[in-house]
Amino acid sequence: MEVRAMLSRAVLYGATGLIAAAAVWHGFGRQTSPSAAGNAPSGRAAPGGAARPQPVLAASDVALLASLAGSRAPSLPVGPDGHLAKVRAVREFFDYFLLARHDVMPVALDALVEREIDAQPIGAAARRDARELWPRYRACIAAFDAQPGAALAGAGLDPDAISGELERRAALARRWLGDWSTPFFDAEFRRQHDDLDWFRIARDPTLDDAQKRERLAALDLTLPPGERDARARAARQRDAIATIARLDGQRATADALRAQLGADVAARVARMQQDDDAWQARYRDYASERDRLDAQQLAPDARDARMAQLRQRDFPDPADALRAASLDAGRAAASAH
């Protein structure tokens, strides 16, 4: 049973919080996640600086983007005082639009975000907060990427450089976002520091295996209960993935999977593989039509509108549409090099 492709996606999408050296670096490296933003915004960006008016674009200039087709922006949360609630969900709203950062120029992305802010069912105070915060957030993310830290030393990772990079990013977040840096990044930075502590213990050559286990267990006890539970689930996932990968390498039969993993887990693996095979077949059909559409050399707006219709037809589930858009973006990036 072939499950390697499925396992690769499981590691990519389902292993958030895994404590591994690669995960530590990926958490704050130059990412392909929505949190990477490209260039700093041209207006209203400098903290404490005077606001500059943003150009007003025609609706056709901010037409529905292929990377966001079939999906919907999250809602902006509002507090009891009518202002934006200081919670991470506000960052998630902005991150949604950063999915489209490679599709449009920054000024067009700004216009798209402002249009969506205006469409949100929130009051004037919350709208002002969102309009003021968006360019600061984009500038913060651009600053993260402007000075990448040298965390890689030779063939390994440099924990001290990683720690310095985390501190640099925390300082940038405070500089650009002020008190918004706490709901936007504090939990993420704390997890990354915890991962780094784990990594230091795991690679300490002065400790034997028993001492490492003891110190790692003590480290886990310092974590919030929810984080401990998440790490325990991640450990179980790693064990299951390793077992499945080993059995797949041995070309194990379905009976062997059931014997090693139990009937329930083996059945879930089989269903996941069947679902993934069906999805891949659907994506291949969609990709054929997408390529025929590209061959027509339509104007950008017309092409984006047709792509939106195609993706909404073939992937009515927003999560599937975003997955297809991600694969399309990877293909476009590869062809550009």
Q: Are 111 and 56 in contact (CB under 8 A)?
A: yes
Q: Count the neighbouring beta carbons within 10 Å of the beta carbon of residue 251.
A: 9
pLDDT of residue 174: 96
Give Cα separations from 122 to 75, 83, 116, 195, 319 (angstroms): 9, 9, 11, 38, 25
Quote the tokens at residue 50. 């005077």
pLDDT of residue 61: 40
Strands (E), the chain: 152-153, 156-157
**Alpha helices (runs of H) in 35-105, residue ranges in sequence order:** 88-98
Place of tokens 């990926």: 26
Distance (Å, rounded) from C-alpha 220 to C-alpha 166?
21
Could you tell me how far CA 100 lies from the centroid of its own chain?
Answer: 13
pLDDT of residue 92: 93
CA atoms within 13 A on the CB side of 294: 10
Q: φ, ψ for residue 78 (rounded to 5)?
A: -120, 135
pLDDT of residue 147: 64
pLDDT of residue 271: 80
For residue 153, what are the β-bridge partners? 156
State the sign of the Cα–Cα–Cα–Cα dihedral 172, 177, 178, 179.
negative
pLDDT of residue 12: 31
Distance (Å, rounded) from C-alpha 9 to C-alpha 288?
23
pLDDT of residue 67: 66
pLDDT in tens, the chain (337 residues): 343 333 333 333 333 333 333 333 333 343 434 444 444 454 444 444 444 444 444 434 444 566 676 678 889 999 999 999 999 999 999 999 888 877 778 888 899 999 999 999 999 999 999 999 999 999 999 898 876 554 444 445 678 888 888 899 999 999 999 999 999 999 889 888 888 888 888 888 899 988 988 988 888 888 888 777 877 777 777 777 777 777 777 777 777 777 877 787 777 777 877 888 889 999 999 999 999 988 998 888 888 888 888 888 888 877 787 788 778 877 766 665 5
Q: Provide the residue type at 38 as one letter.
A: G
pLDDT of residue 156: 56
Is residue 157 within a helix (H) or strand (E), and if so which, with residue range? strand 156-157
Place of tokens 């969102």: 130
